Structure 1
Amino acid sequence: MPIETTHDLIEQILSKWAGTIGEDYQGYRGHVYRLFNFCLTLRPCTEEEKTKVAIAACFHDLGLWSDCTLDYIPPAVSHAAEYLANTGRQAWGAEIALMIGMHHKVRAYTDHQYPLVELFRKGDLVDVSWGVVRYGIPRSYIAAVQNHFPNQGFHRFLMHTAASWWVKHPLNPAPFLRW
């Protein structure tokens, strides 16, 4: 399983948000690439599917920075929809919105109309769990991807952001979780 070390569309999309993401840019970029690679490893994808995964990966957590909120799914979906409209890909809107909206779903996404939604959820969980959850991906591949795209504080940022929510709202689940 080769590692996709660069992807033109990912670079193009993320570079436009570098100023918004700021000092967390390299950490988020690494997360996007790890997620992208894990998705492609979990299931062979067509070029169109790879493009959809790349777009969803770029936008899926972006609302953390663009709107400075832990309720980041709605702004992430909105930014992705705007991008799709500007690039003539509006037909992908529902699928990519679900990929983003369900990427922290606790249970499997079972609507088979959009198989990339579950693939994306799994790929994100592999990275967010630091490879503890693997869905059959070899540990050696996860380690190779992590070595190529170092964390650079991404998980620390996530933990700090989530902890600040739970301190203020101890009885409420984080708004990005879906059951």
Structure 2
Amino acid sequence: MSETSQRLITELPLVDALFDEHAERFGKQQSAYRNHVYRVINLVLAQRPINDQELEQLQIAAFFHDAGIWLAGTFDYLEPSARLADHYLEEHQRLDWQERIRAMIFNHHKLSAYARGADDLVEAFRRADWIDVSLGLLRFGVPMARIRTIKHKFPNTGFHLLLAKLSGQQLLSQPWRPLPMLRR
């Protein structure tokens, strides 16, 4: 494994700047989502080495993948999250990254492996989100000790409880509409 995959990443200026920019919209739930984003990034790094460009792409996808919950005000967040990422990429002249980042956002809840184009960063991102959302029950080869280290540094702070609450609200208000994580 590379040095990047061995060390824990605790600060990323791009991720932190995005959270600072949108702090008001996240409110008291910012810490919960921020820690989820850092857990996902570190869980990707636990699976494979990445280069500097991939790290930047990973940060953008990780920040925006669920951000539509807060920034668009909806639990039907996949498309709004992708649109927010598209807007960011356009503002920063990174439209050439759009396909990969959209794939990471739209497939992060996919139940089966992402095989289209064999983009293993998209697959590593999907696995990382599932590892985190399943509280480590799914590990995809990541050692439990590594998952515990990541979770210790970036505690849950209510993220999973928030997901359960939002899921319950949607099930009660729109029982005919599948949860976002079950649509892809």
Tell me by how many angstroms 1:171 deviates.
4.2
Alignment partner, residue 61 of structure 2: 56
Q: How does 1:1-179 map to 2 (within 5 A)?
A: 1-179=6-184
CA contact (8 A) 1:71 1:176 kept: no
Q: Mark the runs of 5 or more structure 2 residues left unpaired by the alignment.
A: 1-5
Could you tell me which amino acid in structure 1 is paired with residue 104 of structure 2?
M
SS at match of 1:105: coil
| C-alpha distance 171-30 of structure 1, shift in aligned 2 (>3 A) | same
The share of aligned pairs that are identical, in percent, is 37
Q: Mark the runs of 5 or more structure 1 residues left unpaired by the alignment.
A: none
Could you tell me which amino acid in structure 2 is paired with residue 73 of structure 1?
L
Tell me by how many angstroms 1:40 deviates.
0.9
Could you tell which deviates more after superposition, 13-22 or 30-39?
A: 13-22
Could you tell me which amino acid in structure 2 is paired with residue 133 of structure 1?
L
- Structure 2: how far apart are the matches of 1:40 and 1:175? 25
TM-score (norm 2): 0.93
Could you tell which deviates more after superposition, 159-168 or 108-117?
A: 108-117
- Structure 2: how far apart are the matches of 1:149 and 1:175? 24
Paired residues in the alignment total 179
- Structure 1: how far apart are the matches of 2:91 and 2:72? 20
Measured on the aligned residues, the alpha-carbon RMSD in Å equals: 1.3
